[in-house]
Structures are given as structure tokens and as C-alpha cells.
Amino acid sequence: MIEDLWYKNAVIYSLDLETFMDANGDGVGDFAGLSRRLDYLQALGVDVIWLAPFQPTPNQDNGYDIKDYYGVDQRHGSSGDFVEFMYQAHKRGIKVLIDLVVNHTSNKHPWFEDARRSETSEHRDWYIWSKEKPANSEDGVVFPGVQESTWTYDKQAKAYYFHRFFEFQPDLNMDNPEVRAEVRRILGYWLQLGVAGFRVDALPFVLESANSHPTKPTMRFEYIKEFRRFLQWRQGDAILLGEANVLPEEIDNYFGKDGDGSHLLFNFYVNQHLFYALASADVQPLVEALEATRDIAPASQWAHFLRNHDELDLGRLTEEQRQAVFARFGPEPSMQIYERGIRRRVASMIGNRPQIELAYSLMFSMPGTPVLRYGDEIGMGENLDLKEREAVRTPMQWCSDPQSGFSMADKLVHPMIDEGPFGYTHVNVEAQRRDPNSFLNWMTALIRLRKECPEIGWGHWKILPTGNPRVLGIHYSWRGNSVIVLHNFDPHPQEIHLNLKQENEARLVDLMANEESEANEKGVHPIRLSSYGYRWFRAGSLSHLLSLAE
């Protein structure tokens, strides 16, 4: 069993190998390049790197169409380069998560090529087939407006195959025990090479039973428990981080009521209501979302994020709420995608430093583990000229040199953002490192602060009554220590009055400024918050830092 729940107080950094750093000058990022940037990530303060798929692929979907689960795509280097990267990461105390993409394979995978040869092929039942095109073939598409069907006819197989995503990504039949045995081999292989766990892509679709109705699928939640048991036998502290955009009433199925499912889940439900709060300054729906996702097993954990490598999905909001977020953060049709989301990065969406800081301060202070997307620590923007999700997958901006120090090549895997306020000559690591007031240095300080507040990852939390519908207050307590975090979503300054009712909370120490608050004779703290202001306090004193290791 897990002895040290390291993921409870970690900071995860998400990156795509192909757009992070190119060492060999071919225009595509690689493991050698990433290895050279590990000192940067260590200095930033991240504990965990989450890598997007890097295995051999035709690369029709950002590497999520895998044709060999046991290797490294030659664009990114060799298996030897991967092992060297793992050694260098571990030397710096950085753990590595990789994507587990087993809902589907590429249609170029040898398994599928064998499956389509005949009905008696060894791998035929590794995929999902139908002699006739199902009547519901247009239901349940993941990419409305781009994807037309979930069933495609294969001439060689003389049958239709199911694909929840694009037609070049046929779904694996997870009901087949041989497929699940292969998934366990994939887990075991990468664990042996040193990874600390897996981000499970499209987890609900992995658990769908074969030939389920696309809008009312039969779910096999025992499969995620099966993978977890294997993980913990092979490596006791390895973890699963599930991608599951589900409603609060479904959460127990994915975590497991006893915490025996996925160790972590991305909290898409809170994420969407967070952006509604940023757009409207109405905190109540966010409070309700936090409360709705409160009850999870002690060893389970939420992963909180602002943006990821896909769109900002708003599908869980009401139509009125969704339109409010569109109006504020993605008003133009080119900024929207799949009838439900926004394809922009945080800095360009929000557009002003105070509210950007508010958003990240909030994300880092919510109950769970923060996940930061590469480039967001310097406030990168997007390129809306690129199709669909690729808008937010532009190369990392390192300096003001040609191609921003990402590569020496003339042609890159994706064009560099080279004009406008988010162009690499304005927004890059090198310039921000030298500016004490830069967003990068602010983010580095925030990461350090979050790691000094283990109460957020481990402790009990409650919403504080602030008496102001535009100010969110959260109180954390753990091992006799208390942390209070306040956020003002209003563009105007606000003052609130807190009565914490605890004997040791008459004194609040500001963790971001050399200030303190003493309760008045009635036991109330009057606290001022600037426009889009945020404040982190520790109750009592800072002496807890001397005993954190106990």
C-alpha cells in the first residue's frame, strides 16, 4: 500500500515534448531538449512532470493515436534518451507521469492491422465491430462539427468499427481480458523504467462496455480498480490521474467509495464554475461546485487546473452561464470550439495581470493538487490561425532569439507566436527571469508558497462566510495549523469582516506581505482586498515551519 501520499502536496507541470525544447535542430521537441531544461523546472519549484504521449505515432492527433505502446517516436529521440531523461529528472527529485492512452489505438497499430484481416484474426476481438452500421452511429460524438460518426466502415474487414474519437482511432475492446492484460503489461513496462504514474486519457470511455449505447453506456468501474491493484503490487506509491469530466454524483465510481479507484481526478466541474466566477464575479456557483465535490476518500485527491492541452470545456454550465463565459473570454467564433469550449490560453483570455494572478492564486489554493500547463508561468498566448486545439499548442518561448530559443530550425512543428502582445520577443523566460516583478517570478513565489501550505493538500476545509457575494474565503486546518485564503472576484476593492471563532486565530500572518491582522475586541478581523485582490494567511505564527518534518 502507499506509505507516502506524495501527490497530496505536489505541483504538477504539464508539457508536450514536441513543443517544449528541440535539441537536435529538426524543429520538433525531444527528450534531449527537455533534459536540458530540467534545471529550469527544478528552479520553478515543480515536483512532477506530466508528459503528453511520446510513443511512435502517425501523429494525426497530437500523438494520441499510438501505434506502439513500448517505444519512443523517433522525432523525440530513442528509448535511451528517455532513460537518460528519467535519470536526470530523478537526480533533481522530479517525478514523471506519462499518458496512458488505451481507449483507442491508431488505425496503423499492428493490432488493428491484424484485426481487420479476417474475423478469425488473433486481434479481431481486441476492437469493436458490427456487420451493419448501428442506427445510433451519430450519437455520442466527442468533436461536434468536426466528427460526424462513431462508426466507420472498413473495406478490408468488411465491417464497421467503433471509434469514440476520430475514425483513425479505433476503440479497444476493454471487455476482452486479453486487452486488459496488455494494458497491465504497458503499465508494468513504464513503471520498470521509472515513471511515478499515469494520467489516464478519456477514463470514462476506457470503462465503457463494448457495444454500449453511446448516450447510456454500461460502465465497468471494476477495470480501473484492477489497474490500480496491479500498479500498487508493482510499485506501491505509483498513481493514476484520471481524465473524467463527470457530474458530482458520478465521482464515487471513479475514485472508488473506499478510495480504491483512481488516486486523482481532474476537477472539471469546479474548473468550469471557476471560470464562470471569473466572468461574472458571482462566487456562489463556485462554492456550490466545491461543496458538491467535497466528499471523497481520505487517500483520494482532486487535481485542479485552469487550462490544459485541450479546449476550456464549459459543457457542465447552464446555457446562461456558458454564454456569460463566452462573452467575457471567447466572444469571437474563432475563439470557440466544439459548441462547448474556448481554445485560448489563460493570459490572453483574461487579459489583465491582476485578474490573471487572482485566477492562479485561486487554483493553487483550492482543496487538491495544482496542475500547471507549460508556458502559463510566463503568460503565453495562443495562435488562433492554427486549427482546433492546436491553437494552444505552440512552442515554448524561451528567449527573444529567432524561434525563441526553442529550436535552430527554420520550420517548426507548430509556428512560434511571433507578433502581437504575446509574441516571443515580449513574452519569454529569459526576459522574465531578470525582471523581479515578472509573472514568472510571481509564479515561482506562488509555487513555493503552496508547498509551504500542506494544509491545502492534506487538511480539512470549509467555506468561510465572508458576507460578500464576490469574495470567496476558504479555511484549512491540519495538525493544529490553520490557513485562510481570500479572493475578491470584483474589479472594485472590498472589505470583509471575519470572525474565525478559534482561540489561536486572533492573529493572522499574511504569507505574501509583511503584514498581520489582529482581531478586534469582538474577535473580528477587518480585512481589505484590492481590486481582484487575494490574501493568504496563517493563523497564529509561522513557527509551524520548524516542525513540518516531524
Which residues are tagged catalytic? Answer: 201, 243
CA 396, CA 33: separation in Å to the nearest integer?
12
Burial 377-410 (b: 16+ CB within 10 A, else e): bbbbbbbeeeebbbbbbbbbbbbeeebbbbbeee
CA 173, CA 126: separation in Å to the nearest integer?
5
Residue 378 contacts residue 423 (beta carbons within 8 Å):
no
Residue at grid coordinates 471569473? 278
DSSP 243-277: -----GGGHHHHH-TTS-S-SEEE-HHHHHHHHHH
Residue 407 contacts residue 25 (beta carbons within 8 Å):
yes
Farthest-apart Cα atoms in the chain, separation? 83
Q: Would you state the cell numbers that stand for residue 476, as one nine-digit string? A: 484549512
Q: How far is CA 323 from CA 7, 255, 275, 315, in A?
A: 35, 31, 12, 11
Among residues 69, 84, 107, the alpha carbon closest in space to that of 30 is found at 84
**Is the four-CA dihedral 205, 207, 211, 217 of positive or negative sign?**
negative
Residue 413 contacts residue 404 (beta carbons within 8 Å):
no
CA 120, CA 315: separation in Å to the nearest integer?
41
Q: Would you state the cell numbers that stand for residue 497, as one nine-digit string? A: 469582516
Beta bridge partners of 97: 50, 197
DSSP 285-343: HHHHHHHHT----TT-EEEEES--SS-EE-TTS-HHHHHHHHHHH--SGGGEETTTEE-
Q: How far is CA 153 from CA 65, 136, 171, 521, in A?
A: 19, 15, 14, 76
Residue 427 contacts residue 366 (beta carbons within 8 Å):
no
CA 58, CA 17: separation in Å to the nearest integer?
16
**Is the four-CA dihedral 211, 216, 220, 223 of positive or negative sign?**
positive
Q: What share of the chain is helix, strand, coil (3-state, %, to 5)?
A: 35, 20, 50
Among residues 135, 64, 27, the alpha carbon closest in space to that of 388 is found at 64
Residue 209 contacts residue 215 (beta carbons within 8 Å):
no
CA 199, CA 350: separation in Å to the nearest integer?
28
Residue 474 contacts residue 365 (beta carbons within 8 Å):
yes
CA 402, CA 266: separation in Å to the nearest integer?
36
